[in-house]
Structure 1
Amino acid sequence: MDFLELARERYSVRKFAPQKVEKEKLDAVLEAGRLAPTAVNYQPQRILVLDSDAALGKLKDCTPYHFSAPLALVVCYDAAVSWKRSYDGKDMGEVDASIVTTHMMLEAAALGLGSTWVGHFDPQKVRSAFALPENVIPVAILPMGYPHESSVPSPKHAERLPLSETTRRNTF
Protein backbone atom coordinates (compact mmCIF):
# COMPACT_ATOMS: atom_id res chain seq x y z
CA MET A 1 0.00 0.00 0.00
CA ASP A 2 1.44 3.39 -0.91
CA PHE A 3 1.42 6.25 1.57
CA LEU A 4 -1.58 8.18 0.22
CA GLU A 5 -3.64 4.99 0.15
CA LEU A 6 -2.64 4.27 3.76
CA ALA A 7 -3.51 7.84 4.79
CA ARG A 8 -6.85 7.62 2.98
CA GLU A 9 -7.83 4.22 4.38
CA ARG A 10 -6.72 4.67 7.99
CA TYR A 11 -9.57 5.64 10.29
CA SER A 12 -10.13 6.20 14.00
CA VAL A 13 -11.01 2.85 15.54
CA ARG A 14 -13.39 3.12 18.46
CA LYS A 15 -14.19 -0.57 18.93
CA PHE A 16 -11.43 -3.10 19.44
CA ALA A 17 -11.20 -6.87 19.43
CA PRO A 18 -9.90 -8.28 22.73
CA GLN A 19 -6.84 -9.82 21.00
CA LYS A 20 -3.53 -8.62 22.42
CA VAL A 21 -1.04 -6.82 20.18
CA GLU A 22 2.04 -8.92 19.50
CA LYS A 23 5.34 -7.65 20.91
CA GLU A 24 6.85 -7.44 17.41
CA LYS A 25 4.06 -5.14 16.22
CA LEU A 26 4.23 -2.99 19.34
CA ASP A 27 8.00 -2.72 18.91
CA ALA A 28 7.54 -1.65 15.27
CA VAL A 29 5.02 1.04 16.29
CA LEU A 30 7.37 2.33 18.98
CA GLU A 31 10.27 2.32 16.49
CA ALA A 32 8.20 4.45 14.10
CA GLY A 33 7.80 6.95 16.93
CA ARG A 34 11.51 6.83 17.72
CA LEU A 35 12.32 7.64 14.09
CA ALA A 36 9.96 10.62 13.94
CA PRO A 37 11.58 14.01 13.42
CA THR A 38 11.71 16.36 16.40
CA ALA A 39 12.86 19.96 16.73
CA VAL A 40 16.67 20.12 16.72
CA ASN A 41 16.50 16.30 17.11
CA TYR A 42 16.16 16.73 20.88
CA GLN A 43 13.76 13.75 21.02
CA PRO A 44 11.76 14.91 24.05
CA GLN A 45 9.03 12.30 23.58
CA ARG A 46 8.29 10.07 26.53
CA ILE A 47 5.86 7.24 25.83
CA LEU A 48 4.01 5.20 28.42
CA VAL A 49 3.05 1.71 27.21
CA LEU A 50 -0.11 0.55 28.96
CA ASP A 51 -0.90 -3.09 28.33
CA SER A 52 -1.60 -4.57 31.76
CA ASP A 53 -5.09 -4.72 33.21
CA ALA A 54 -3.93 -2.53 36.10
CA ALA A 55 -2.48 0.20 33.87
CA LEU A 56 -5.47 0.15 31.51
CA GLY A 57 -7.76 0.38 34.54
CA LYS A 58 -5.93 3.51 35.68
CA LEU A 59 -6.38 4.97 32.20
CA LYS A 60 -10.15 4.53 32.46
CA ASP A 61 -10.09 6.94 35.42
CA CYS A 62 -8.39 9.58 33.22
CA THR A 63 -10.65 9.51 30.16
CA PRO A 64 -13.95 8.00 29.03
CA TYR A 65 -12.37 7.54 25.58
CA HIS A 66 -10.30 4.42 26.13
CA PHE A 67 -12.60 2.25 23.96
CA SER A 68 -11.55 -0.80 26.00
CA ALA A 69 -8.49 -1.21 23.80
CA PRO A 70 -6.05 -3.94 24.85
CA LEU A 71 -3.16 -1.46 24.57
CA ALA A 72 -2.76 2.28 24.95
CA LEU A 73 0.18 4.58 24.46
CA VAL A 74 0.32 7.82 26.42
CA VAL A 75 2.49 10.20 24.45
CA CYS A 76 4.19 12.89 26.51
CA TYR A 77 7.15 15.22 26.17
CA ASP A 78 9.81 16.27 28.61
CA ALA A 79 9.73 20.06 28.89
CA ALA A 80 13.22 20.00 30.41
CA VAL A 81 14.53 18.57 27.12
CA SER A 82 12.30 20.02 24.39
CA TRP A 83 13.56 22.81 22.13
CA LYS A 84 12.22 26.32 22.72
CA ARG A 85 12.02 28.78 19.84
CA SER A 86 14.32 31.75 20.50
CA TYR A 87 11.97 34.40 19.09
CA ASP A 88 9.13 33.85 21.51
CA GLY A 89 10.07 30.92 23.76
CA LYS A 90 7.47 28.63 22.14
CA ASP A 91 8.01 25.11 23.48
CA MET A 92 8.02 22.70 20.54
CA GLY A 93 7.50 19.63 22.74
CA GLU A 94 3.80 19.40 21.94
CA VAL A 95 4.56 19.57 18.22
CA ASP A 96 7.23 16.89 18.60
CA ALA A 97 4.88 14.62 20.56
CA SER A 98 2.23 15.13 17.88
CA ILE A 99 4.61 14.14 15.09
CA VAL A 100 5.65 11.05 17.07
CA THR A 101 1.99 10.13 17.66
CA THR A 102 1.18 10.48 13.96
CA HIS A 103 4.10 8.26 12.95
CA MET A 104 2.94 5.60 15.40
CA MET A 105 -0.69 5.80 14.23
CA LEU A 106 0.33 5.31 10.63
CA GLU A 107 2.68 2.42 11.41
CA ALA A 108 -0.08 0.77 13.42
CA ALA A 109 -2.41 1.05 10.42
CA ALA A 110 0.26 -0.37 8.11
CA LEU A 111 0.50 -3.38 10.45
CA GLY A 112 -3.26 -4.00 10.45
CA LEU A 113 -3.84 -2.41 13.84
CA GLY A 114 -6.33 0.30 14.66
CA SER A 115 -5.94 3.35 16.85
CA THR A 116 -7.54 6.66 17.60
CA TRP A 117 -6.02 9.89 18.83
CA VAL A 118 -7.52 10.89 22.16
CA GLY A 119 -6.99 14.44 23.33
CA HIS A 120 -9.92 14.45 25.77
CA PHE A 121 -8.34 13.44 29.07
CA ASP A 122 -7.58 14.99 32.43
CA PRO A 123 -3.82 15.70 32.36
CA GLN A 124 -3.60 15.96 36.14
CA LYS A 125 -5.23 12.56 36.56
CA VAL A 126 -2.79 11.11 34.00
CA ARG A 127 0.11 12.73 35.82
CA SER A 128 -1.07 11.35 39.17
CA ALA A 129 -2.10 7.87 37.94
CA PHE A 130 1.23 7.24 36.25
CA ALA A 131 3.51 9.20 38.63
CA LEU A 132 4.73 11.65 36.01
CA PRO A 133 7.10 14.39 37.15
CA GLU A 134 6.01 17.99 36.49
CA ASN A 135 8.31 18.36 33.47
CA VAL A 136 6.68 15.42 31.64
CA ILE A 137 3.62 16.74 29.83
CA PRO A 138 0.95 14.34 28.47
CA VAL A 139 -0.21 15.29 24.96
CA ALA A 140 -2.16 12.37 23.52
CA ILE A 141 -3.52 8.96 24.38
CA LEU A 142 -3.43 6.39 21.62
CA PRO A 143 -5.73 3.40 22.31
CA MET A 144 -4.57 0.63 19.99
CA GLY A 145 -5.35 -2.92 18.98
CA TYR A 146 -7.04 -4.99 16.34
CA PRO A 147 -10.25 -3.41 15.07
CA HIS A 148 -13.37 -5.30 16.12
CA GLU A 149 -15.10 -6.99 13.19
CA SER A 150 -17.94 -4.46 13.49
CA SER A 151 -15.59 -1.44 13.54
CA VAL A 152 -16.21 1.03 10.72
CA PRO A 153 -15.05 4.55 9.92
CA SER A 154 -17.19 7.40 11.20
CA PRO A 155 -19.72 8.73 8.69
CA LYS A 156 -17.59 11.86 8.20
CA HIS A 157 -14.32 9.94 7.62
CA ALA A 158 -14.09 10.67 3.89
CA GLU A 159 -15.26 14.30 4.12
CA ARG A 160 -12.34 16.57 3.29
CA LEU A 161 -12.22 20.20 2.28
CA PRO A 162 -10.85 20.82 -1.19
CA LEU A 163 -7.21 21.89 -1.36
CA SER A 164 -8.34 25.30 -2.59
CA GLU A 165 -9.86 25.93 0.86
CA THR A 166 -6.84 24.83 2.87
CA THR A 167 -3.89 26.08 0.84
CA ARG A 168 -2.70 29.30 -0.76
CA ARG A 169 -0.09 29.65 -3.48
CA ASN A 170 1.70 32.90 -4.06
CA THR A 171 -1.37 34.96 -3.12
CA PHE A 172 0.20 36.81 -0.22
Structure 2
Amino acid sequence: MDFLTLAKKRYACRKYTAAKVEPEKLGVILEAGRVAPTGANRQPQRLVVVQSQEGMERLARCTRDFGAPCAIIVCADTSEAWTRKYDDKMIGDIDASIVTDHMMLAAASQGLDTLWICMFKPEAVREEFGLPDNIEPVNILLVGYGAGIPADPNRHDMLRKPLSETVVYEHF
Protein backbone atom coordinates (compact mmCIF):
# COMPACT_ATOMS: atom_id res chain seq x y z
CA MET A 1 0.00 0.00 0.00
CA ASP A 2 1.41 3.41 -0.92
CA PHE A 3 1.99 5.99 1.81
CA LEU A 4 -0.99 8.28 1.15
CA THR A 5 -3.38 5.32 1.07
CA LEU A 6 -2.00 4.17 4.42
CA ALA A 7 -2.17 7.68 5.91
CA LYS A 8 -5.78 8.11 4.77
CA LYS A 9 -6.71 4.67 6.14
CA ARG A 10 -5.55 5.60 9.65
CA TYR A 11 -8.20 7.14 11.87
CA ALA A 12 -8.77 8.04 15.53
CA CYS A 13 -10.29 4.84 16.91
CA ARG A 14 -12.41 5.33 20.02
CA LYS A 15 -13.78 1.80 20.48
CA TYR A 16 -11.80 -1.45 20.55
CA THR A 17 -12.44 -5.16 20.61
CA ALA A 18 -10.94 -7.23 23.44
CA ALA A 19 -8.51 -8.94 21.03
CA LYS A 20 -4.90 -8.64 22.20
CA VAL A 21 -2.20 -7.11 20.03
CA GLU A 22 0.05 -9.90 18.77
CA PRO A 23 3.67 -9.65 20.01
CA GLU A 24 5.08 -9.64 16.47
CA LYS A 25 2.82 -6.74 15.48
CA LEU A 26 3.73 -4.84 18.63
CA GLY A 27 7.38 -5.48 17.75
CA VAL A 28 6.92 -3.86 14.33
CA ILE A 29 5.25 -0.84 15.97
CA LEU A 30 8.05 -0.43 18.52
CA GLU A 31 10.70 -0.83 15.83
CA ALA A 32 9.03 1.94 13.81
CA GLY A 33 9.37 4.17 16.87
CA ARG A 34 13.01 3.17 17.30
CA VAL A 35 13.95 4.19 13.75
CA ALA A 36 12.07 7.51 13.86
CA PRO A 37 14.27 10.57 13.44
CA THR A 38 15.07 12.69 16.49
CA GLY A 39 16.90 15.98 16.97
CA ALA A 40 20.67 15.48 16.69
CA ASN A 41 19.91 11.72 16.86
CA ARG A 42 19.67 12.03 20.65
CA GLN A 43 16.82 9.46 20.79
CA PRO A 44 15.24 10.80 23.99
CA GLN A 45 12.04 8.77 23.54
CA ARG A 46 11.17 6.41 26.35
CA LEU A 47 8.21 4.10 25.78
CA VAL A 48 6.13 2.44 28.49
CA VAL A 49 4.14 -0.45 26.98
CA VAL A 50 1.00 -1.24 28.93
CA GLN A 51 -0.84 -4.51 28.16
CA SER A 52 -1.83 -6.15 31.42
CA GLN A 53 -5.30 -5.72 32.87
CA GLU A 54 -3.76 -4.18 35.98
CA GLY A 55 -1.70 -1.77 33.85
CA MET A 56 -4.71 -0.72 31.78
CA GLU A 57 -6.66 -0.14 35.02
CA ARG A 58 -3.85 2.15 36.21
CA LEU A 59 -3.94 3.95 32.86
CA ALA A 60 -7.72 4.40 33.17
CA ARG A 61 -7.05 6.44 36.33
CA CYS A 62 -5.09 8.89 34.17
CA THR A 63 -7.18 9.11 30.99
CA ARG A 64 -9.92 7.38 29.02
CA ASP A 65 -8.72 4.11 27.50
CA PHE A 66 -11.70 3.50 25.16
CA GLY A 67 -11.44 -0.23 25.84
CA ALA A 68 -8.07 -0.59 24.10
CA PRO A 69 -6.07 -3.71 25.03
CA CYS A 70 -2.71 -1.97 24.71
CA ALA A 71 -1.24 1.47 25.26
CA ILE A 72 2.17 2.99 24.70
CA ILE A 73 2.99 5.91 26.96
CA VAL A 74 5.38 8.01 24.90
CA CYS A 75 7.79 9.99 27.03
CA ALA A 76 10.81 12.22 26.49
CA ASP A 77 13.96 12.06 28.58
CA THR A 78 14.53 15.76 29.19
CA SER A 79 18.15 15.10 30.17
CA GLU A 80 18.88 13.70 26.69
CA ALA A 81 16.73 15.78 24.33
CA TRP A 82 18.43 18.24 22.02
CA THR A 83 18.02 21.96 22.76
CA ARG A 84 18.09 24.67 20.08
CA LYS A 85 20.77 27.16 21.09
CA TYR A 86 19.06 30.25 19.69
CA ASP A 87 16.04 30.18 22.01
CA ASP A 88 16.67 27.20 24.32
CA LYS A 89 13.75 25.24 22.87
CA MET A 90 14.09 21.67 24.15
CA ILE A 91 12.57 19.45 21.46
CA GLY A 92 11.86 16.25 23.39
CA ASP A 93 8.13 16.74 22.84
CA ILE A 94 8.69 17.07 19.09
CA ASP A 95 10.86 13.95 19.03
CA ALA A 96 8.21 12.02 20.99
CA SER A 97 5.56 13.19 18.53
CA ILE A 98 7.58 11.99 15.54
CA VAL A 99 8.05 8.63 17.25
CA THR A 100 4.32 8.43 17.95
CA ASP A 101 3.45 9.21 14.34
CA HIS A 102 5.79 6.49 13.07
CA MET A 103 4.26 3.96 15.48
CA MET A 104 0.71 5.01 14.61
CA LEU A 105 1.30 4.49 10.89
CA ALA A 106 3.12 1.20 11.53
CA ALA A 107 0.08 0.03 13.49
CA ALA A 108 -2.20 0.93 10.57
CA SER A 109 0.08 -1.03 8.23
CA GLN A 110 -0.38 -4.06 10.52
CA GLY A 111 -4.19 -3.82 10.42
CA LEU A 112 -4.39 -2.25 13.88
CA ASP A 113 -6.15 0.92 14.94
CA THR A 114 -4.89 3.66 17.24
CA LEU A 115 -5.83 6.76 19.17
CA TRP A 116 -3.29 9.45 19.98
CA ILE A 117 -4.16 10.90 23.39
CA CYS A 118 -2.86 14.16 24.83
CA MET A 119 -5.77 14.62 27.26
CA PHE A 120 -4.34 12.91 30.34
CA LYS A 121 -3.18 13.82 33.82
CA PRO A 122 0.64 13.97 33.57
CA GLU A 123 1.22 13.72 37.32
CA ALA A 124 -1.12 10.74 37.56
CA VAL A 125 0.80 9.00 34.73
CA ARG A 126 4.06 9.81 36.48
CA GLU A 127 2.79 8.32 39.75
CA GLU A 128 0.98 5.27 38.32
CA PHE A 129 3.93 4.21 36.15
CA GLY A 130 6.87 5.30 38.32
CA LEU A 131 8.34 7.87 35.92
CA PRO A 132 11.51 9.55 37.17
CA ASP A 133 11.67 13.37 37.22
CA ASN A 134 13.60 13.59 33.93
CA ILE A 135 11.02 11.48 32.04
CA GLU A 136 8.18 13.64 30.71
CA PRO A 137 5.00 11.91 29.51
CA VAL A 138 4.16 13.54 26.17
CA ASN A 139 1.28 11.47 24.79
CA ILE A 140 -0.35 8.07 24.95
CA LEU A 141 -0.96 5.84 21.93
CA LEU A 142 -3.80 3.36 22.31
CA VAL A 143 -3.41 0.32 20.06
CA GLY A 144 -5.80 -2.49 19.19
CA TYR A 145 -8.44 -3.76 16.81
CA GLY A 146 -11.21 -1.26 16.28
CA ALA A 147 -14.79 -2.23 16.97
CA GLY A 148 -17.36 -0.93 14.54
CA ILE A 149 -16.95 0.68 11.16
CA PRO A 150 -13.64 2.43 10.46
CA ALA A 151 -13.66 6.02 9.25
CA ASP A 152 -13.96 6.50 5.49
CA PRO A 153 -10.49 6.99 3.95
CA ASN A 154 -12.00 9.69 1.70
CA ARG A 155 -13.17 11.77 4.67
CA HIS A 156 -10.21 14.10 4.29
CA ASP A 157 -11.76 15.64 1.19
CA MET A 158 -14.54 17.01 3.41
CA LEU A 159 -12.79 17.39 6.78
CA ARG A 160 -9.42 18.88 5.90
CA LYS A 161 -8.74 22.41 4.77
CA PRO A 162 -7.52 22.71 1.19
CA LEU A 163 -3.77 23.13 0.73
CA SER A 164 -4.39 26.72 -0.38
CA GLU A 165 -5.40 27.55 3.22
CA THR A 166 -2.42 25.91 4.90
CA VAL A 167 0.52 26.26 2.51
CA VAL A 168 2.42 29.33 1.35
CA TYR A 169 5.45 29.43 -0.92
CA GLU A 170 8.56 31.47 -0.25
CA HIS A 171 7.01 34.04 2.11
CA PHE A 172 4.05 34.22 4.49
Unaligned runs of 5+ in 2: none
Partner residue in 2 for 1:123:
122
Corresponding residue of 2:167: 167
When the two chains are superposed, the root-mean-square deviation of aligned CA atoms in Å is 1.4
Query: Are residues 1:93 and 2:92 paired?
Result: yes
Could you tell me how far apart the structure 2 residues matched to 1:138 and 1:153 are? 28
Matches within 5 A, 1:127-146: 127-146=126-145
- Matched pairs, number: 169
What corresponds to 1:109 in structure 2? 108
User: Identity of paired residues, percent?
Assistant: 49
**Distance in 2 (alpha carbons) for counterparts of 1:84 and 1:109:** 32
Cα shift readout 1:75-131 (whole Å, capped 9, x = no counterpart): 000000000110111001000000000000000000000001000000000000001
Q: Distance in 2 between matches of 1:10 and 1:39?
A: 26
- 1: CA distance, partners of 2:149 / 2:129: 30
Segments of 4+ moved more than 3 angstroms = none
* Gapped regions of structure 1 (runs ≥ 5): none
Higher helix proportion (structure 1 or 2): 2
Distance 1:132 1:152 in 2: 34
The TM-score normalised by the length of structure 1 is 0.95
Instruction: Give the CA deviation at 1:153.
Output: 2.4
Partner of 1:31: 31
**Structure with greater strand share of residues:** 2
CA distance in 2, matches of 1:118, 1:151: 20
Q: What amino acid sits opposite 1:104 in the alignment? A: M
| TM-score of the two chains, using structure 2 as the length reference | 0.95
State whether structure 2 residue 73 is matched by structure 1 residue 62. Answer: no
